[in-house]
Amino acid sequence: MIREHAVVVGGTRGLGLVIVERFLARGFAVTVLSRRPCEKHRENPLVRHVAVDLEKLSDFDEVDGDYLSGRPIRYLAFAQRFRGQGDPWQGEIQVGLTATRVLIEGLVDRFAETGDRAIAAVSSVYAEFVGGSQPVGYHVVKAGLNAMTRYYAWSLGGRGIRMNAVMPLTYIKDESRAFYQSQGAINDLYRRLVPLQRMGEAGDNADVVDFLCSERAAFITGQSLFVDGGVSIVWPEETASKFSA
Ligand SMILES: NC(=O)c1ccc[n+]([C@@H]2O[C@H](COP(=O)([O-])OP(=O)(O)OC[C@H]3O[C@@H](n4cnc5c(N)ncnc54)[C@H](OP(=O)(O)O)[C@@H]3O)[C@@H](O)[C@H]2O)c1
CA dihedral 21, 67, 51, 152 (to 10 degrees): -70
Asked whether 54 lines ligand 1 (CB < 6 A), one says yes
How high is the mean pLDDT in each 10-residue block of the chain (245 residues)? 92 98 97 96 95 95 77 97 96 98 96 97 98 97 98 98 98 94 90 96 98 98 98 96 90
* CATH H-level, domain 5-173+200-232: superfamily: NAD(P)-binding Rossmann-like Domain (3.40.50.720)
200 C-beta closer than 6 A to ligand 1: no
Domain residue ranges of the chain, discontinuous segments joined by +: 5-173+200-232
Cβ neighbours around 218 below 10 Å, total: 13
Looking at residue 194, what DSSP letter applies? S
Burial of 5 (0-12, 13-18, 19+ CB in 10 A): buried
What angle do helix axes 184-193 and 236-244 make, rounded to 10 degrees?
A: 130
d(CA 245, ligand 1 centre) in Å: 37
Q: Quick check: CB of 55 below 6 Å from ligand 1? A: yes
Q: Given this model, what pLDDT does residue 222 score? A: 99
Rg (CA), the chain: 18
Q: Point out the ligand 1 atom lying closest to the alpha carbon of residue 142.
A: 47
Pocket of ligand 1 contains residue 13 by CB under 6 Å: yes
Which residue numbers are catalytic?
124, 138, 142
